[in-house]
A and B are shown apart, each in its own frame.
Chain A
């Protein structure tokens, strides 16, 4: 879809009013104020967020500093990075060893090295993740909508049949802090019509669009046929034409439309040709990237794929950081690069914004930012290295982290902002707050960062209080 297509579509939707989005019942939330919000023209139509849940250490990934290899007795305060830097296909830009594949697609995107987060006193993943995903620091008095819900709400579905907001790879049951995760994995006050379709296991995603387990497709479609017959045969049919009843029937229709559509095959990873699927590796995250590509191809608006946040696992390295980072980089390197290449090969990269981000960075020494009252949460405290598990970035650092953006509307082969070369590794150039980062994302997607909806008679803005400013240096 080119730019004018997208504009036309927006226009078309406007004229159509509810008719086109009526398949999704309206939740009654309306824009704040009488002012006509002018949206920027969209640079991308779809967005994929690759979420490095748990706090990805920038110095060991996208912002390498002086490297000191493991050595018994090494003073830990000297350590900045635990991996050497490698060249990328962009002159003068180095990233961390272990990201060799990503290094070869750095020329397709912009690396922000100066993302910053507030210090919330105690560093808690779920609160920072809530903040990152909604733009608001919890607790707040209303349930804030997720970034994906904003896109669903403001932009609507790109393809009426495909859910606009899909969340891949995060279990919401049976993991620590699950309630806290659920609190932001939601459309909040926008209502569940804009909420996520959760697909924690990519290889099982197809089950979400299939008949229930053990039900033959024939039986399933028959059941729906009978459902419609019964609606028609109902002697009170005329008394059911209230908005509650009608919206219920409409939603059943659009659900079954998806479940009986061709688009539903996007959820079925077994339909991907073997050699192309293999390029994504067999990790859950890799399969999630593949699924994201398939869903965006079929017209999903926003897809998040996570390495999964589970307390003390994956990027949440309170100890053994170097070893874990080695594994995590191996998990993401190939599929992320492949996703970019695949989107490009399909001519979709220009209209798809791919973001790789984490709730904060990590540091060998500093919890929060220098001077923070945040308690030290390292599980491998030592002054001098005695064993391998002490080698790694074990503290939560909020003063400077890296965000990678590819595709739709961002500069190619560009680096935005910088962190200091010596500890503290604070963002020293062009810092990008969460508000500004979101404003950048929204601007690319064609959403005015000052867009506000009314809740409890107050405005609720896409970026906190409407203050987010697009980091213009990032845009192509």
Chain B
């Protein structure tokens, strides 16, 4: 149907009516279509479905709307729409706007119905809403351009070329490493990590970086917990807990993330629940009467369809949806899967007398046995949801992850998966890939992050993109409240002491003890020395290089420091303790490698005695090798060169005596957890202000802009101000004042300040005698868009 035809036929129609009131047989195209186009199209075509009625085609029109059928061919009396277009009641009349149909027009429609409603199939009043196929769609990859062989790039590049858009160029390494760290583990790279990466000239440095980050299981879980808590509406405080109308799934969820439980398995455990994960489908039980759409049964239908399928069932919980194809019946049928009792449909809170049958919404994949027990029904639903042919399931999740990493979903918004993606092939390819990789979330994240697309310079937009969005590289992302707090805490070592989340972050516990570790035994004797740098500095570094002929089967670390230390091996953070009487003791199968290994310790004393002591045991098939602290280690005080460590005391002597032999240390566990992260503590004023949601509802995106009230909180809020005070004290203790600006810029922003900037920064610290200058410096850096935005 072309616009030309419509306009001309309309003119023709008017002429026709003047001359000849009603010809015998109605001509749809020339007589009826213009009326429909003029009076109905605005609200009932092109994805619009007011009253649930779509009129793009005859079959849609005949299917009727929310209130049932509106047109019956050959039967004007039963064709309700004729009544509506002829009504005098302004609340009822269609169309509601304008002067309505003329008597002639009404007469014409009447006759058209009486004649049997001829409406050729190929003639459409508008395009129906786009409906994705449910099943996975096989994608053939286009050829690679300019050697960009990653499948994601092959798909994106083809599209860019077609649009004659330039291929986004790769971003610089400093931007990349900051982006990669924040996206995988929600932390900033340290200046050392940054230098190491910049200096890396070996092949595949990007892939190796991402791979290494994803292996940091605790940090990964700490970061992604925020995304999943939002999605699964899990929180530590909030509505419902006080009356036991709600339970957490925190422990289960965290463990699933640490172990990288596959997504299909997670889904099965969330739907076909174990006790630990039941909090999700059970929803929130509110006290008192609630709207029929907010019972636990309906919450189940809404949350399951939104989270796993990107379907908004909220509309259909009250009435047939106006915006997509879901009906009240389908919403209730899904709820009935969960319901203990027979469920009666209520339309906008009014009982209808109709009963729901436990069913799910994509019968083409199979159906639930409505007569089975609730347990069985849930099991069946879990199986259908994770069915290999359920493309909607995989597309929904890959789209969510894409949006997290690239700043915007391939389908946007991420909960409206019936919306046409801006690159359908890409979405389907990713979904297939995710399924082929056995729903391995980390593997998928790794896959996306290894594309040239992820590594591209981000695309700068002057305003929030709308429907005209076209991909031109990843979008900059505003740090979440959690990323911001974590980064500030990381730079200033001011993490909170206690977590609200009950999760297992012990270094080794989550992984099953490998068989080779079972044969491990700690030596009785410890002949280590307490060591420190020759200079009496409060914060020092220690290191020891060891070259091994072969990789040990397992290794044990037993160490402590007066007062605090953290240990890394080959650049990988292993453990820390902040109290000398709580040593680190752990076993691990893959701490060391054949060849050169570097043990690095950052040690700190808070006052009084100082010393670090440790024993590292390498277990081979038939022998043990022991590395102990002593004068052969290297030490470095701030601003000094590396030199031999000084043996302060032999192990066993006062004041520490035989602290490493203490009975209270259990085998295989670290003394303390890594620093507490923002995702693990209850929401506070500052995080709430920065957009961490109240998790009564499923939340799938965070606000992208900073508001004035938030800015006021950042300018003078107590929480941030206290954090900065504490952070300034920490930094002043461990760093020389004049070094702070450069170090801070490198850690926080990933670059050194220019000379000009450094002058400004030094001016801030120079004029103050106490920590105030450092405090201001921290604020100045943390407030910069360069800090709060992941570019």
What residues of chain A lie closer than 8 Å to B784, measured between beta carbons? 227, 230-231, 234
- Distance in Å: Cβ of A148 to nearest Cβ of chain B: 12
- A2 interface contact, C-beta 8 A: no
A193 and B757: CB pair below 8 A? no
- Distance in Å: Cβ of A439 to nearest Cβ of chain B: 17
Given known pairs A23-B708, A226-B780, the reply for A235 and B754 (CB within 8 Å) is yes
Chain B 557-593 against A: per-residue CB contact (8 Å), 1 yes, 0 no? Answer: 0000000000000000000000000000000000000
What residues of chain A lie closer than 8 Å to B761, measured between beta carbons? 230
Given known pairs A138-B286, A179-B237, A248-B788, the reply for A456 and B415 (CB within 8 Å) is yes
B287 and A124: CB pair below 8 A? yes
- B68 interface contact, C-beta 8 A: no
Given known pairs A240-B785, A242-B476, the reply for A247 and B694 (CB within 8 Å) is no
What residues of chain A lie closer than 8 Å to B764, measured between beta carbons? 223, 226
Measured CA separation A142–B698 after assembly (Å) = 9
A137 and B785: CB pair below 8 A? no
- B495 interface contact, C-beta 8 A: no
Measured CA separation A251–B714 after assembly (Å) = 11
A182 and B694: CB pair below 8 A? yes
Chain B 687-702 against A: per-residue CB contact (8 Å), 1 yes, 0 no? Answer: 0110101101100000
A27 and B703: CB pair below 8 A? yes
Given known pairs A183-B694, A213-B721, the reply for A139 and B710 (CB within 8 Å) is no
A122 and B706: CB pair below 8 A? no
What residues of chain B lie closer than 8 Å to A27, measured between beta carbons? 703, 705, 707
The interface stretch among B24-32, B56-64, B288-296 is: B288-296
Given known pairs A179-B694, A233-B754, A457-B416, the reply for A211 and B708 (CB within 8 Å) is no
- Distance in Å: Cβ of B296 to nearest Cβ of chain A: 11
Most chain A CB within a 10 A radius of its CB, from B696, B708, B714, B760: B708
- B86 interface contact, C-beta 8 A: no
- B250 interface contact, C-beta 8 A: no
The interface stretch among B181-189, B261-269, B456-464, B640-648 is: B456-464
Measured CA separation A245–B721 after assembly (Å) = 22
What residues of chain B lie closer than 8 Å to A140, measured between beta carbons? 291, 294
Measured CA separation A241–B460 after assembly (Å) = 7
CB nearest to A229 among chain B residues: B760
CB nearest to A235 among chain B residues: B754
Given known pairs A183-B696, A186-B694, A219-B772, the reply for A248 and B314 (CB within 8 Å) is no
What residues of chain A lie closer than 8 Å to B312, measured between beta carbons? 456-457
Most chain A CB within a 10 A radius of its CB, from B314, B415, B458: B314
B789 and A252: CB pair below 8 A? no
How many residue-residue contacts, CB under 8 A, span A and B? 213
Most chain A CB within a 10 A radius of its CB, from B239, B707, B711, B764: B707
- A25 interface contact, C-beta 8 A: yes
CB nearest to A18 among chain B residues: B463
- B786 interface contact, C-beta 8 A: yes
- A347 interface contact, C-beta 8 A: no
What residues of chain A lie closer than 8 Å to B462, measured between beta carbons? 241-243, 246
Chain A 180-207 against B: per-residue CB contact (8 Å), 1 yes, 0 no? Answer: 1011001000011101010000000001
- B493 interface contact, C-beta 8 A: no
A251 and B763: CB pair below 8 A? no
- Distance in Å: Cβ of A120 to nearest Cβ of chain B: 5
- Distance in Å: Cβ of A236 to nearest Cβ of chain B: 7
Given known pairs A183-B694, A230-B780, the reply for A457 and B785 (CB within 8 Å) is no
- A24 interface contact, C-beta 8 A: yes
B705 and A244: CB pair below 8 A? yes
- A210 interface contact, C-beta 8 A: yes
A243 and B463: CB pair below 8 A? yes
Interface residues of B in 445-479 (CB under 8 A from A): 458, 460-464, 476-478
Given known pairs A179-B237, A248-B789, the reply for A25 and B707 (CB within 8 Å) is yes
What residues of chain B lie closer than 8 Å to A239, measured between beta carbons? 460, 791
B791 and A193: CB pair below 8 A? no
A230 and B760: CB pair below 8 A? yes
Measured CA separation A247–B464 after assembly (Å) = 11
Measured CA separation A374–B704 after assembly (Å) = 43
What residues of chain A lie closer than 8 Å to B696, measured between beta carbons? 139, 143, 183
- B141 interface contact, C-beta 8 A: no
- Distance in Å: Cβ of B657 to nearest Cβ of chain A: 43
Given known pairs A24-B708, A213-B721, the reply for A233 and B694 (CB within 8 Å) is no
CB nearest to A465 among chain B residues: B348
What residues of chain B lie closer than 8 Å to A183, measured between beta carbons? 239, 694, 696
A179 and B709: CB pair below 8 A? no
A219 and B776: CB pair below 8 A? yes
Measured CA separation A276–B322 after assembly (Å) = 57
Chain A 435-466 against B: per-residue CB contact (8 Å), 1 yes, 0 no? Answer: 00000000000000000000011100000000
A259 and B464: CB pair below 8 A? no
What residues of chain B lie closer than 8 Å to A248, measured between beta carbons? 478, 705-706, 711, 785, 788-789
- B197 interface contact, C-beta 8 A: no
- B620 interface contact, C-beta 8 A: no
CB nearest to A375 among chain B residues: B288
- B731 interface contact, C-beta 8 A: no
Partner of B314, one of A141, A192, A212, A213: A141
B709 and A195: CB pair below 8 A? yes
What residues of chain A lie closer than 8 Å to B685, measured between beta carbons? 173
What residues of chain B lie closer than 8 Å to A163, measured between beta carbons? 708-709
- A258 interface contact, C-beta 8 A: yes
Measured CA separation A28–B238 after assembly (Å) = 27
Chain B 774-791 against A: per-residue CB contact (8 Å), 1 yes, 0 no? Answer: 001001100111101101
Measured CA separation A192–B763 after assembly (Å) = 35
- Distance in Å: Cβ of A323 to nearest Cβ of chain B: 28
Measured CA separation A235–B708 after assembly (Å) = 26
Measured CA separation A249–B791 after assembly (Å) = 16
- B160 interface contact, C-beta 8 A: no
- B681 interface contact, C-beta 8 A: no
What residues of chain B lie closer than 8 Å to A127, measured between beta carbons? 286-288
What residues of chain B lie closer than 8 Å to A143, measured between beta carbons? 693-694, 696-697
What residues of chain B lie closer than 8 Å to A235, measured between beta carbons? 754
Measured CA separation A244–B691 after assembly (Å) = 14
- Distance in Å: Cβ of A386 to nearest Cβ of chain B: 31
CB nearest to B773 among chain A residues: A219
A254 and B789: CB pair below 8 A? no
Measured CA separation A105–B207 after assembly (Å) = 74
Measured CA separation A224–B779 after assembly (Å) = 10
Interface residues of A in 210-225 (CB under 8 A from B): 210-213, 215, 219-220, 222-224
Partner of A255, one of B317, B322, B461, B711: B711
A254 and B711: CB pair below 8 A? yes
What residues of chain A lie closer than 8 Å to B242, measured between beta carbons? 177
- Distance in Å: Cβ of B749 to nearest Cβ of chain A: 9
- B718 interface contact, C-beta 8 A: yes
- Distance in Å: Cβ of B521 to nearest Cβ of chain A: 51
- Distance in Å: Cβ of B182 to nearest Cβ of chain A: 14
Partner of B715, one of A35, A177, A256: A256
CB nearest to A123 among chain B residues: B288
What residues of chain B lie closer than 8 Å to A233, measured between beta carbons? 754, 756-757, 760
- A104 interface contact, C-beta 8 A: no
A208 and B716: CB pair below 8 A? yes
B464 and A28: CB pair below 8 A? yes
Given known pairs A212-B716, A243-B463, A249-B785, the reply for A191 and B707 (CB within 8 Å) is yes
CB nearest to B312 among chain A residues: A456
- A472 interface contact, C-beta 8 A: no
CB nearest to A196 among chain B residues: B709
- A283 interface contact, C-beta 8 A: no
What residues of chain A lie closer than 8 Å to B291, measured between beta carbons? 137, 139-140
5 contacts between A and B (CB under 8 A): A122-B289, A141-B294, A195-B707, A226-B776, A458-B314
A213-B721, A255-B711 given; 15 more Cβ-contact pairs under 8 Å: A27-B703, A34-B42, A120-B289, A141-B697, A143-B696, A193-B707, A193-B709, A212-B716, A223-B776, A234-B784, A239-B460, A242-B461, A242-B789, A246-B462, A458-B322
| Interchain residue pairs A-B with the least CB separation, the first 3 | A121-B289, A122-B288, A255-B711
